[in-house]
Amino acid sequence: MNTRLRLAVIGPGRAGGALAIAAMAAGHSVETVAGPSGVIPPELAATRVKQVGALSPCELLILGTPDDVIEETALRLAADPPAAGVAAHLSGFASIDRLDALERTGLEVGCLHPLQTLPSPQRGAAALAGSTAAVTARSDKAAALLCSFAQNLGMSTFRLEDRFKPLYHAAAATVALGVATTLGVAADLFAAAGVSFCQSRGLATRVLENCFEMGPDQALTGPMVRGDRGTIAGHLKAAEAVSPELAHQYRMLVRTAAHRISHGGEASETISDRPAGRSGS
């Protein structure tokens, strides 16, 4: 995208705020309208417009609202539609059908979903470059604008069919929640052993790299893959001594891994619901 884009963001929270901050840094013209909380990131203070009716004409209107109010927001905007070319929401789950009210006013509609964790507008803006983004749109015009905008912020893009968004988002949520949750269990076990979680950075980084280079199932290593039932039983006994809940969480992780290992039958026996202390070692 060689020309400066005029962008309006309604609801500049973690996702909308991240895109707005990154867009400003890339030289685009940005205006924002705060959500119900009235809060916007301090980096966007100069972009604030009090109400939608005061927005300048723009090429791209972004709805950064929660999934549950996308359709409601679109209906409200459709009563007095902003002067925009394309309207897009940022939900990886929600259908672009939720923007039908705006489409009926003549706007092109679509969705831009950065496949990245956005814990805050500031951290999210810094993480966008080098990430990928899913683009869903009914028209080539809307898709081209969304792809061009994302690529200008340093993201690569891929097209995502609207009907596959729930599956896609479930996969994305599994990456975000699964990795963090698993490492959370590991951090608790390390802490109980008097070892800093930071000591595992090299291990975690290498495992993640192996997953993308070899495939997640091929990257599995350790006692589960070797079929070392006694070792797994010892893990559970040690975890049980710290906390029954921690042992339960570890057991659930091992069960999931067992289903993904071709010789998981023996591992499944190891991780039964019987108390960890009774398992042989």
Tens digit of each residue's pLDDT, the chain (281 residues): 457 899 999 999 999 999 999 999 999 999 999 988 888 999 999 999 999 999 999 999 999 999 999 999 999 999 999 999 999 999 999 999 999 999 999 999 999 999 999 999 999 999 999 999 999 999 999 999 999 999 999 999 999 999 999 999 999 999 999 999 999 999 999 999 999 999 999 999 999 999 999 999 899 999 988 889 899 999 999 999 999 999 999 999 999 998 888 554 343 444 444 444 433 32
From edge to edge, which strands make up the β-sheet containing 132-137? Answer: 29-33, 6-10, 58-63, 84-89, 108-115, 132-137, 156-159
The confidence score (pLDDT) of residue 226 equals 87
Q: Which long-range contacts (CB under 8 A, 24 or more apart) does 69-73 make?
A: 70/94, 70/98, 70/99, 71/98, 71/99, 71/101, 73/10, 73/11
| Count of residues making up the chain | 281
The DSSP symbol for 56 reads P
> Model pTM?
0.85
Give the start-end residues of each E strand in 90-131: 108-115
Q: Look at residues 106, 53, 52, 114 and name the one whose alpha carbon lies nearest to residue 89.
A: 114
